[in-house]
Structure 1
C-alpha cells in the first residue's frame, strides 16, 4: 500500500501546491508511509533475507530500493497510460499472488526436506542480481495501483514524487527492521505474506469489479490485524541461542 492511495487525504493534497504546504504534510506522510508500507516491507525483507549474510542483505536492499525509486518515478510518468490499461494492475496483482504462493510452497518444501532428512540443510543463497531485480519489481507491483490512484486524484507531480521518495526511504528502514524481526517473531513472515495476498485480491477486485467500493480504512484494519497476530509471539533467548554442551 501507499500513502498516495488514500483518497481521504485528497483535500489536503489539492491545496498543497507550494513547497511550504507540502513540507507541512511531511510528518503525516512519513508516519502513514511507515504503517502502510508494512506488507511491502515484509515481502522485501523476506526476499533480501534469503542470502543469510547481513552485508549482502544491506547491499541488495540499498541497490534494489534505489532501482525501485527509479521505477516508481517512471511509473508516475506513465501513470495515465496505466489508468487506461487496467490489465497492467491485474498483472501486478497476479505477480503478488505468485510471490505468496511461491513463499508458502518454498517453506512447505523446506519443512518436508528437514523432516525427511535430519541433516542441516543449507539453501544456496539467491544471486545478488536476481535479488535486486526481485526487490525492485516487487515494489513496482505494490506501487502500480497506488500511483495510478494518486495521479487520478491530483496532477501535482511534485507532491506525488515527494510521496514516492518518502515511501522509498520509509521502506528501506522498515525492511531493514523487519529482517531482524523475522528472526525474532516466528509468525511475522506468514502475517506479512497474508497481508500481501489480501492486497493482491483487493487489486484484482478493483480491476474486475471497478464499481465495488473498497474503503481504504478496511484495508488498513485488516493489515493491522495480520501484523498484530504476527507480532504476538516472540522467540525466547534459548530458542535463538541454545547453550553449548560442556
Structure 2
C-alpha cells in the first residue's frame, strides 16, 4: 500500500508541474486576447476565462472517455488553436505593413467585451482537452485504488480520477496568478504577443499529433505522442520559442526606448 501511495505522490507531483506549464500557455492566450480591453473589462474577462478554464477542465475529466475515443474532438481543438495562432500572427503582420504604408490610418479596433470572452472560452475548451489528455497519459500508469470506498468515478478508477482532478485544480490556481502577470508583461513588452501566439500554434500542433496517432486515424503510431523523442522535441521547441521571443522583445523594447 505504501509503494502505491508513493507512486501516486510522484505522479501527482509530475502532473502538477505539467499542468502548471499547460496553464501558463492557457494564461498567455487569455492575456493576449484581453489586452485590448479597458483595465476594468480586462479583469472581468480574465475572471470569466479562469471560471471557464475550471469548468471545462472539470467537464473534460468526466468526458475523458469521449476525449480519448472520439478523435474529431481532438481535431477540433487542434484546428481552433492553429486557426487563432495563424490568424493573429497574420493580422499583426498585416497591421504592421498597413501602418508603414499609411501612418495616419486609424488602428484596427479589437473585439468587443463579450466576443473577447467567447474567444477566450473557446481557447479554454481546446486547452482543457490537451490538459486532460496529458493527465490521462500519466494517471493510467497508476495502480487502481478506491477512494472513500468508491471504485470508479465517471468510468475512471477513483484513485486515478482524484489525481487528475488535483492536477487540474492546481493548474487553474497557477493560471489565476499567471494570467494577470502576463497582461502586465505584455504591456511592457508588446512584441511578446507574436511569441505567445506561436506557442498557441505549437500546442495546436501537439493536439494534431495526438489526433493523427489516434487508433481510428492511424497516420502516426499510437504511442508516438508519449514517446521520448516527441516529448523532448515538443518541450525543446516550446522553450526555444519562449527564449527567442523574450530576447527579441527585450531588444526591440530597448531600441524603442533608446
**Bin of the TM-score, shorter chain as denominator length:** 0.7 to 0.9
Return the TM-score normalized by structure 2: 0.75
Aligned length: 224
Counterpart contact for 2:36–2:110, Cα < 8 Å: yes
Counterpart contact for 1:76–1:151, Cα < 8 Å: no
The 5 A counterparts of 1:1-16 are: 15-16=7-8
Task: Return the alpha-carbon distance in structure 2 between the equivalents of residues 231 and 223 of structure 1.
Answer: 12
The answer to whether residue 181 in structure 2 is matched with residue 177 in structure 1 is yes
Return the TM-score normalized by structure 1: 0.78
Give the match for residue 151 of structure 2.
Answer: none
Give the match for residue 35 of structure 1.
Answer: 21
Which of 85, 89, 101 pairs up with 1:104?
89
Task: Return the alpha-carbon distance in structure 2 between the equivalents of residues 14 and 150 of structure 1.
Answer: 18
The answer to whether residue 222 in structure 2 is matched with residue 211 in structure 1 is yes
Task: Return the alpha-carbon distance in structure 2 between the equivalents of residues 205 and 103 of structure 1.
Answer: 22
Measured after TM superposition, the shift of residue 91 of structure 1 is 0.8
Give the match for residue 78 of structure 2.
Answer: 93
- The answer for unaligned runs of 5 or more in structure 2 is 141-156, 213-219
Q: Structure 1's 212 and 198: CA in aligned 2 closer, same or farther, altered over 3 A?
A: farther
RMSD: 2.9
Counterpart contact for 2:27–2:179, Cα < 8 Å: yes
Task: Return the alpha-carbon distance in structure 2 between the equivalents of residues 191 and 29 of structure 1.
Answer: 25
Counterpart contact for 2:75–2:207, Cα < 8 Å: yes
The answer to whether residue 56 in structure 2 is matched with residue 71 in structure 1 is yes
Give the match for residue 30 of structure 2.
Answer: 44
Task: Return the alpha-carbon distance in structure 1 between the equivalents of residues 121 and 171 of structure 2.
Answer: 14
Moved more, 227-236 or 70-79: 227-236
